[in-house]
Amino acid sequence: MTKIEVFCGFLESGKTTQIQHILEQNYIESYEKILILQCEDGEAELCLSTAKNKNVLLKQINQKEKLCYELFHKIKSELNPDLILIEYNGTWPIEILLSLPMPKNFKMDQIFFCANASTFDFYIKNTGGLMANQLSNADAVLFNRVSENTKLLKSAIQNLNRSTFVSFNEGTEDSLFKGLFDPEISKRNRNQQKGYHLIFSALLVCTCILFAVIFHSSQFSAFIQSINMIFIGILMQAVPFLLIGAFVSALLQVFLPDETLVKLFTAHKWLGFPIAMILGFFLPVCDCGIVPIASRLTQKGVPLPETMVFMLAAPAINPITILSTLYAFPGQPQYVLYRIGIGLLISLIAGLTLRLTHQEASLVLSGGSPATCSCGTVGSPPPHSGKLGKIESVFMIAGQEFLGMGRYVIVGSLLCTILQQMMPTFLFQSTDTVMAMIVPILLMLLAAFFMSVCSTSNAFIGRSFLNVFPPAAVIAFIVMGPMLDLSNLFLLGANFKKQFVVRFAGILFVTGFFVFLLLSLFLKGEAL
């Protein structure tokens, strides 16, 4: 097996230094043959004479076109090294390397991103998606020349890649490299992982058997069967619309540049709010993906109130959302009308509030690196060239978005099902008290916030709540969920100042609560 380790990053990021450090460690002697592919000429030069392993070969790759399958096939047939270290060119898209088919027994193992802390912010703001894509695919980020603001740097990295390892000191890096490059430690770690997997699998099987024995009794069987039927029913109806929404959203991200939206917003100064609502109606972007888009539009000069109206309206009233709501509430088009009307009303109130309070974009933008959505697809779409490249990008983004938001749908559906079976309905079944209207609305607003279900599928979860909650509370769930949920709040905090996010979330919650309370009074005694 030939391991391939990749070191990427821009000039003066410390790639050559890190590779040199690895070559000078004792554990590197365990490899029979090592090949270094150097894709750029930096200020530092590799000194192979100080390497512990004397069988180290160096090959220069000066053109990205030369980085191809034929190259690695030739390496395998002529050299057959057991370790390849690639010093990747930071100006080359990382997809070139990731998309390469590898010969048999060649394994792309780890991607290390090396970064100079003093130039990090400059590069991420001025390199388009190049740096963001490298960071989003990195298994570890190694910072050097760090003086301060380590928390901000780590936060910027984790907004792009939540699972990556971030290091700010050489001691941590030594431990990381030894665990990866020392064959003995690496083998021991793999065996431990296998052991953990076996133990976990055994515990999972035993747990399933235990629950099967417990719930086999008639006392629990009806309860479990009810949960199972509702859960599967919600998923079967929601998943197709989630998939359609992911593909349409991906198409827009690839084929509709931000500049086009900026022109539409700024073309008619006095029609900002109507244009924002119309664009929101026709652009089916996921509710987490709309936040980075709104941030970029604000940075490019679109007024903050118009941007916020667009951000709130798009996931709440777009065509995919409308179709899913029609399907979720068959024969009840009034739910669609309420969703559109109230969604636009709350969006407009929020925008007018920002306009009246004279909120300026320059005062509320965080000024940090742009964050991506929770599904990891919006904010830094992969580079694409030509029609074929764009189609590939669409499928990549759609797949990631579907998988990313799918977990929220699954968790939300399960929680919804359990709540329906266990919720004490006596809290709000009485129609004679104000609390009977307040409690359900508050519960549904909180459920929408914490479940963070995608707007293209939350109507199905909302409909299932009709068995327990009154119509106004259910409408509150499906309307407010895409506007204000936990995942969106984290994204807003990464793109805008915390004080503004808290204030804006408060405006949305209070506005939504009173709007739905009035709706509850309006619908009192009427059948939907």
Is the sign of the CA dihedral 123, 124, 130, 132 positive or negative?
positive
Phi, psi angle pair for 284, to nearest 5°: -80, 80
Alpha-carbon distance of 168 to 196, in angstroms, equals 29
> Higher model confidence: residue 454 or residue 471?
471
pLDDT digits (tens, 9 = 90+) for 486-527: 777 776 776 677 788 888 899 999 999 999 999 988 887 555
Of 3, 7, 4, 23, the C-alpha closest to 15 is 7
| 245 contact partners, CB below 8 Å, separation of at least 6 | 284, 286, 320, 321, 324, 454, 455, 456, 457
Which tens digit of pLDDT belongs to each residue from 120-178?
Answer: 888 877 775 678 778 878 888 988 887 767 777 887 787 667 668 888 865 556 777 87
- Closest Cα partner for 288 from 190, 407, 144? 407
- Burial (CB count <10 Å: 0-12, 13-18, 19+), residue 345: middle
> Which among 487, 494, 492 is positioned nearest to 455, based on CA atoms?
487
C-alpha to C-alpha distance for 253 and 242, rounded to whole angstroms: 16
- The string of pLDDT tens digits covering residues 345-370 is 999 999 899 888 876 665 666 554 44
Pick 414 or 40 by higher pLDDT.
40
Using CB atoms within 10 Å of the CB of residue 9, give its burial: 0 to 12 exposed, 13 to 18 middle, 19+ buried: buried
pTM for this prediction: 0.54
pLDDT one-digit tens code per residue, 394-408: 777 666 666 666 665
Whole-number pLDDT of residue 210: 56
